[in-house]
Chains A and B, each alone.
Chain A
Amino acid sequence: MKLIFEKSIDSRTGFKLPECDVDIKFNLSEKYLRKSQAELPEVSELDVVRHFSELAKRNFSVDSNFYPLGSCTMKYNPKFTERVANFEGFTDLHGLLPQVLGASMLCQGALQVVYDVQKLLCEITGMKAFTTQPLAGAHGELTGAMLIAAYHKDKKHKRKYVIVPDSSHGTNPASAAIAGYEIITVPTDKTGCMDFEEFKSKLNENVAAVMLTCPNTLGIFNFRIKDICDEAHKVDALVYYDGANLNAILGKARPGDIGFDIVHINLHKTFATPHGGGGPGAGPVGVSEKLVGYLPIPRVVKRSDATYALSYNRSKSLGYMAAFFGNFSVILKTYAYIMMLGKDGLTEVSETAVLNANYLKEKLKKYFQLDYDRICMHEFVISAVSQLKNNIHAIDIAKYLIDKGIHPPTVYFPLIVKEAMMVEPTETESKQTLDEFIDVMVEIAELAEHNPQALKDAPVTTCVGRLDEAKAARDLNLRWQK
């Protein structure tokens, strides 16, 4: 298929601008002007519509496909939240309004959204206060790492290290590293949890924090989680909760009750906002009592006359993490989702997510190796190692699933499981969809034994076959040129 740039016809236009109603002589000096014109496409509106409509058909999406991409919580995104986010009273608001004298009265509804969502997230996670500023999960982690640094600096501690388990998301060590920390990685034990003794041996007064996902990326809830928090607190290290897997524990456990000091939540995962091909997400961060003073400015506060305003006057605050209040429309959709589901609905979300994952795991473990065979939470990791003898890898299984209209699980992650396939069905998938997936996976296991070539050839139903990724990285071509 051609690129939109390749569909260009000299002098064709796709949009009508308002006529210029002012009579002004143009007199900007040449030296400030661009010499070459930007080669944007010259196409009609219909050209653009057909082009992107055709491109849309070339994507798998939750609306069209089962999408059990582990760690990404690809649940159904309800339509009503889109309508809420598209009210003009929200879309047309400038983010600087509350910074301008007298203008915060123009955005009371929006400030209330931020304020209310912070309160709701506190109750959901058991934390003392939240900031909605972080723009994605990893941005929340960076905010968390900054909070950790601010805390120790204030305490005059010199701390150099952050501990992560080897099963962690790659963002955890990356976020801590860019905030200035060195990383200590602790291996996973036989039960699928961070090795507790190993962890204790690494813990000392040079450690600033430990970052954990619970349940972890193997889908396992660490039953010693409280002990980990307690041990860390003994040396005044902080404990960070990566909320990427929060969908497993709504109403069941709260990081704040367990002893975590900092939490980030991926709103786009647990609270059902669309993932938009890789974003926008949102990664609000919650903290325990002792860290409230370090949260980013400005804070949204409710005044005694029940109006909302911004507060900057926080001497210990780490400063601005974002220009405004985070990805506001994502926050708004989250609010609408929480309101519709309510207390019982959210609890049912986690119960069903866990039920669906365990159902799949039990059915699939007869056909694919399961390194950690125990009750899982919202996701689990199987492996293609049993299929390796026929030269079938996780990637071959992934490509065949595409031919069957199913988005593959996350493959080759977590790094500690060989030929990993990380499956997260989510609560919105029906038993029928799960059964169809099981049937396809059983078929794959049989093909691996009797006709492995069929898997090697996949996919055959897509607009392109398997792509040469090595060539892409070798002969880098990152843009179209005339």
Chain B
Amino acid sequence: MNFIPHTDKERREMCKAIGVSSIDELFKDITPDLKAKSFELPNGKSEFEVMRFFKGLANKNNVSLTSFLGAGFYDHYIPSAVESLSSKPEFYTAYTPYQPECSQGWLQSIFEFQTAICELTSLDVANASLYDGGTALYEAAMMAIRITGRKKIIVDSGVNLLYRSMLYTYTTNLEIEFKETPVVHGQSSRKDISSVIDKDTAAIILQNPNFFGAIDDHSDIVKKAHELGVLVIQSVYPVALGLIKPPGEMDVDIATGEGQSLGLNLNFGGPYLGFMAAKKQYMRKMPGRIVGETVDKQNKRGFVLTLQTREQHIRREKATSNICSNEALCALRAVIYLSLLGKHGFKELALLNHKKAEFAKGLFDKIKGVEVKKNSPTFNEFTLMLPKRADEIVCKLIEKGFICGFPLGRFYKGLDNYLLVSVTEKRSKEEIAKLADTLEAAL
């Protein structure tokens, strides 16, 4: 079967119509010296057997622990309608809307997604999605280089290490000068940024809340940057934007982020959703697909892919980016999620996350030997200093049914005793209290 409908009779008829005696003849360009030397795969299996195998593999994973692990990727509740609507095959089994008249469903959804991202970030324009938060940040850096014609970039070390690593990997061969500035007392160091910023700087890359969970108002950094013609890129956690100051209100030029928290499963790391928004004047320098509004001959509103002359299928090596497939389905999930939560629900969600995290901070602060870092306000994630190595504590608490956070020593030298704890709306008061007790007992 193999999802192939042909009968032997049909195969013969088709070969005859083509004028060959067998299918093998169609492969005659693959001469003997080019033929596969091996193709030793197992024989096919029935659906039932495949299902049993993967059920077995899924059961080898343990998802029953109570999780306080975030570090850029969060365990939020996903309303059932998100799965139900986004898995409609008319969305699921379509492709990039090259033919707008038979893809209006997709194009309008993306236009709505772009609008939602503009609203969250308080910026003018957004694209139709990028792969993930890390690639979006890299694309923003490249965009800043194109806009300014400069090749130096300042990166705050409060930006997720995984994103920084990707940025450096991708630009290895491009002669871009990166300067990392430290996080001091939980926040971006103004002093260090001032000492390295100059008229050769293309952009400063910041994150809010930063990797340690700290919230900042970067308005002063932005002001200083703009005086020198430097752009500011801010990587954001979208759920936090229900509450905290969005990039647009700090006059940030380009915002990017990881959209996983907007209705996407954790999925062991993907697929996720990169998003990007920018000020209007930079719209033509943006990478990726962009949907625009237009009309047909009867003046009826419709949507199309626009500004395609920036893209690789037309511009080839002169394109603004090499991106072709993006994460459209994830963007659809995000706009459905944001529509369900709505204007008020989204704000409520952010508040709920914040309050639960504040409650947790209060409890942890009472544990002897544990210090909650308080020099900066936080959203739903915060840093604890423990009297022992954090990775060993995490390991110990796994046996007690908790993933209690992310040991910061994994990403930052010298922070072996620090633990990053995230609290989403899914964590109840009881679970938080139980974690605090378990942690205390484990120390």
Contact = CB atoms under 8 A, between A and B. Distances in A.
A391 interface: no
A94 B271 contact: no
Contacts of B106: 55, 59, 277-278
Nearest to B40: A123
Interface centre among A8, A78, A84 (most CB of B within 10 A): A84
B53 interface: yes
Contacts of B55: 87
Nearest to B297: A465
A28 B245 CA distance: 11
12 contacts: A11-B344, A22-B356, A34-B249, A40-B116, A63-B90, A74-B95, A89-B58, A109-B58, A173-B316, A328-B268, A348-B2, A349-B2
B332 A277 contact: yes
A410 B324 CA distance: 14
Interface residues of A, number: 208
Interface stretch (A197-205, A336-344, A440-448): A336-344
Nearest to B72: A323
Contact of B406 (A29, A74, A76, A96): A96
Given A108-B61, A173-B317, A324 B81 contact: no
A56 B332 CA distance: 11
B29 interface: yes
Given A55-B109, A102-B398, A180-B174, A64 B89 contact: yes
A73 to B, nearest CB: 10
Nearest to A182: B317
Contacts of B144: none
Contacts of B294: 467-469, 471-472, 475, 477
Interface string A19-60: 011111010110111111111111101001101111111111
Given A96-B71, A321-B166, A14 B102 contact: no
A399 B319 contact: no
A48 B29 contact: no
B297 A472 contact: no
Nearest to A85: B267
B118 interface: yes
A113 B55 CA distance: 12
Interface in A353-392: 354-356, 358-359, 362-363, 375, 377
B41 A120 contact: yes
Interface in B372-430: 377, 391-392, 394-395, 398, 403, 406-407, 410, 425-426, 428-429
Contacts of A1: 104, 108
Nearest to A3: B112
A279 B302 contact: no
Interface string A120-135: 1001101000000001
Interface string B53-91: 111111111110101010111010101010011011111
Given A4-B335, A100-B406, 14 more contacts: A90-B58, A92-B265, A103-B403, A136-B131, A146-B169, A174-B319, A253-B34, A257-B36, A276-B330, A277-B332, A342-B44, A347-B39, A354-B26, A358-B20
Nearest to B67: A94
A453 to B, nearest CB: 14
A112 interface: yes
B339 interface: yes
A459 interface: yes
Contacts of B267: 90-91, 93, 95, 328-329
A325 B268 contact: yes
A6 to B, nearest CB: 10
B336 interface: yes
A226 B101 contact: no
B14 A355 contact: yes
Contacts of A243: none
Interface in B9-57: 10-11, 13-15, 17-20, 23, 25-31, 33-47, 50-51, 53-57
Contact of B304 (A21, A84, A467): A467
